[in-house]
Amino acid sequence: MVMWRRVKVLAERIIKNAFRESELGKILYIILPFKFYALSFWVPPLIGIIVVSTKARRLSDKALTGLIAHELCHQERYRKMGVLRYYCFVLKYTFSQKARIEEEHEVDRMTVRKRFAAELHELTLITHASKSHKKIISNYLTPDEIVQYAQKEGLWNSNGNETAGSKNQDSFK
């Protein structure tokens, strides 16, 4: 399947199962070659943009689902901020390591609460092993922190899997 179509199909399923489409608004998915797996930004009030790296094509559907769910959580947060707060956020995120860490940790927790803990965990195992992510990896929860948070929220069991009934989506096979 063409990468753009794969991303779009997964995103539609994620949105259907875990988001209110009205809160996300229009989102454009772009596939480009760059160092990181993805980035997300908003062009208020028109459109949200999620750029997925061509290197994400090597990810399993499970890990790619974790990536897209994480980026959609950013989009939801941006819309809830409103235009003025979003512009202030962009400045803080650009110039403050602390702001980047706070945002990425909260978005990871939000991704877990939306029941994508296992998908985010799989993605994080990959990114934490990647040399190209060494500079930014501290911005995100570690695989262990994802499991601990998911357990605290009742979304992970002692066998290392999400709890029965915690999944809110069908298989993406």
The 10s digit of each residue's pLDDT in 64-108 is 999 999 999 999 999 999 999 999 999 999 999 999 999 999 999
Note whether 10 and 172 are within 8 A (CB): yes
Is residue 142 scored above 80 in pLDDT? Answer: yes
Contact criterion met (CB below 8 Å) for 136 and 125: no
pTM score of the predicted model: 0.90
Q: Please indicate, yes or no, if residue 58 is contained in any of the structural domains.
A: yes
- Helix/strand/coil percentages in the chain, nearest 5: 60, 10, 30
Domain presence at residue 26? yes
Residue 31 near residue 3, CB atoms below 8 Å: yes
Domain range holding 120? 3-152
Nearest to 10 by CA among 78, 56, 77: 56
Specify if 9 maps to a domain: yes
Residue 170: inside a domain, yes or no? no
Over the Cα atoms of the chain, what is R_g? 15
In a domain, 50, yes or no: yes
Could you tell me if residue 168 is inside a domain? no
